[in-house]
Amino acid sequence: MDLTPFYARISDCPARDAFVHEEKKMPSTAEMAAWKPSEWTGGTFHDFAEEAFMRDVSRPLALYVHVPFCHHHCTFCPFYINQTKKGFSKDYTELLLREIEITADALKNVADKREVTAVYFGGGTPTDLDEADMASVITSLFDHFNIPKDAEVTVEGRTTGFTASKAKTWTAAGANRFSLGIQSANTALRKRLGRISSREELQDSLDGICTSGSSVIIDMLYGLPGQTREILLDDIDFISNKTGIDGLDLYELKIFPGTPLDKAIKNGKIPPAPAFGDKAVMFSTAYDALESTGFEHFSPKHWRRNPRERSLYNRLAGMQCDMIPFGSAAGGRLHGIGLGNSRDIKTYRAQVEAGEKPLGRIMASPLRPAPEGFNQVLASYGENLCLPPAGLWPEPHRAMAGKLLSQWQDAGLLRETEGGLRLTGAGYFWTQKIKGLVQRFLQTPAQ
């Protein structure tokens, strides 16, 4: 077999140079809104919920609560739906509490037969809910579902409007993890993204929230318009040395066509995002800085400072666990049935007030088959951000796999550890490419 097409380029910056970059087109906000599901003929939620819920009790179970309201539209975001208005919290909380009762009623004979592994409040901006309102929703979920003490209960949001008092009250109600989108600690970049608080205000908020007893996780972005390697390193210094956060997620900024940020770049009002090579250098630098300041890269896109951070929900979501949706525009699934609550808030309200589970779409959503054979080996090593050593690769590819892995090591994409061949920062940057190459390699006849 000619291995040349699988080899990485050798250079002093493997994150930038290892392979040829192929630009991926993001869907536009209009395309996302226009998506229509196929017709469903399997009855109402009350007809199928209990049977679907019990079909495979070995699967992890999550509850997802969506709060599709934001104080204002962050410029990069394709998920903004409704603006937070006065009185929204009480009003929306009443609907959520009613929906929880409706859902629990549909599952009344079985709800206590499965333990919930993770509860996630996503949005939108769940932290915009008033203190007592969010506490009552958390309490209601604990009252109606079998949520053990060690379940992960996350409330997502942003620091503006999220007080230390809210964090304490919600922790007392059962939350144990707050996930906050800060994107950058640089005041000028934050403003460009529509984040209104300054770095100093951000730090005050984080200090208060970190006293709650819950884990605090932040989202950061790289590849922002105007962001440089130095700014990103300064952000990492800030979060490492001036905050008590437990972990962070680091994502590349994707510019979705139709968002305010996309329009502002096209109109020349702000500079374009850095070019691919600059982003690769930024990621690689950030990766090394996180490692050297004590953050462990423990799952794709997640770093932690201590084992309190488990990122259970994110990991379960990737495993197609069963997930019961609550709230307008929430999505979930029950063993092969995809569930989407009504996105339009008026429709959602009318359904809840009529005593129905407020689903806007129900559709067959066949489960991806579990990986088998060597793909299962790849998946289990992948969980630890590793590739299996050559001796575990299937024949007749084993000898060639040894050569390929050794070339990727020489190119700076892998390093040998006790747990297998671990992806370096550059290797992780090229994960999708490497996954594709591994599959192509296995499908190519070994001569």
CB of 133 to ligand SF4, least distance (A): 18
Which residue in 305, 311, 287, 296 sits closest to 229, CA to CA?
A: 287
Cβ of residue 104: shortest distance to ligand SF4, in angstroms? Answer: 27
In angstroms, what CA-CA distances link 447 with 60, 396, 434? 43, 8, 22
**Cα 29 to Cα 302: distance, rounded to the nearest angstrom:** 27
159 counts as binding ligand SF4 under rule CB under 6 A: no
Q: Stretches 75-83, 326-334, 340-348, 356-364: which one binds ligand SF4 (CB under 6 A)? A: 75-83
The one among 7, 40, 55, 79 contacting ligand SF4 by CB under 6 A: 79
Q: Give, as ranges, the residues between 175 and 204 that touch ligand SF4 (CB under 6 A).
A: 181
Both structure tokens of 311? 């990122």
With beta carbons less than 8 A apart as the criterion, state whether 261 and 271 touch. no
Selected range binding ligand SF4 among 58-66, 71-79, 259-267, 287-295, rule: CB under 6 A? 71-79
Give 273 or 423: the residue with its C-beta nearer to ligand SF4. Answer: 273
**Residue 385 CB, nearest distance to ligand SF4 (Å)?**
27
| C-alpha span between 311 and 217 (Å, rounded) | 9
Member of 66, 144, 158, 315 binding ligand SF4 (CB under 6 A) = 158
Quickly tell me which residue has 């790289």 as its tokens: 222
Query: For residue 133, how many other CB atoms are within 10 A of its CB?
Result: 18
Cβ nearer to ligand SF4, comparing 74 with 96: 74
Q: Does 73 bind ligand SF4 (CB under 6 A)?
A: yes
User: Considering only residues 8, 62, 70, 437, which one is a binding residue for ligand SF4 as defined by CB under 6 A?
Assistant: 70
Binding mask 18-57 for ligand SF4 (x = CB under 6 A): ----------------------------------------
CA–CA separation, 143 vs 64, rounded Å? Answer: 16
Q: Binding residue for ligand SF4 (CB under 6 A) from 77, 317, 377, 442?
A: 77
Q: How many CA atoms lie within 13 A of 56 on its CB side?
A: 14
For residue 361, give the nearest of 379, 341, 387 by alpha carbon.
341
Distances in Å between the Cα of 28 and the Cα atoms of 79, 178, 224, 328, 354 are: 11, 29, 19, 21, 34
Residue 224 touching ligand SF4 (CB under 6 A): no
Cα-only R_g, the chain: 23
Residue 408 to residue 389: CA distance in whole angstroms: 12
- Looking at the Cβ atoms of 193 and 405, the one nearer to ligand SF4 is 193
Q: Considering beta carbons, is residue 59 or 158 the nearer one to ligand SF4?
A: 158
# residues contacting ligand SF4 (CB under 6 A): 11
**Which residue lies nearer to ligand SF4 by CB, 19 or 121?**
121
Question: For ligand SF4, which is the closer residue by CB, 74 or 280?
Answer: 74
The pair phi, psi for residue 85, each rounded to 5°, is -120, 165
Residue with tokens 């997802």: 64
Is there a contact between 332 and 64 (Cβ–Cβ < 8 Å)? Answer: yes
CB of 77 to ligand SF4, least distance (A): 3
Phi and psi of 35, rounded to 5°? -65, 135
Of the chain, the end-to-end C-alpha distance in Å amounts to 5
The nearest distance, CB 26 to ligand SF4, in angstroms, is 15
Whether a cis peptide bond, with omega within 30° of 0, leads into 396 is yes
Instruction: Select the residue interacting with ligand SF4 from 74, 116, 206, 414 (CB under 6 A).
Output: 74
Closest of 208, 213, 66, 60 to residue 137, by C-alpha: 66
- Within residues 95-154, the interface with ligand SF4 by CB under 6 A covers 123-125
Least spacing, CB of residue 123 vs ligand SF4, in Å: 5
Q: How far is the CB of 181 from ligand SF4 (least distance, A)?
A: 6
182 sits in which H/E element: strand 177-183
Residues 375-394 interacting with ligand SF4 (rule: CB under 6 A): none
CB of 237 to ligand SF4, least distance (A): 24
Binding stretches for ligand SF4 (CB under 6 A): 70, 73-74, 77, 79-80, 123-125, 158, 181
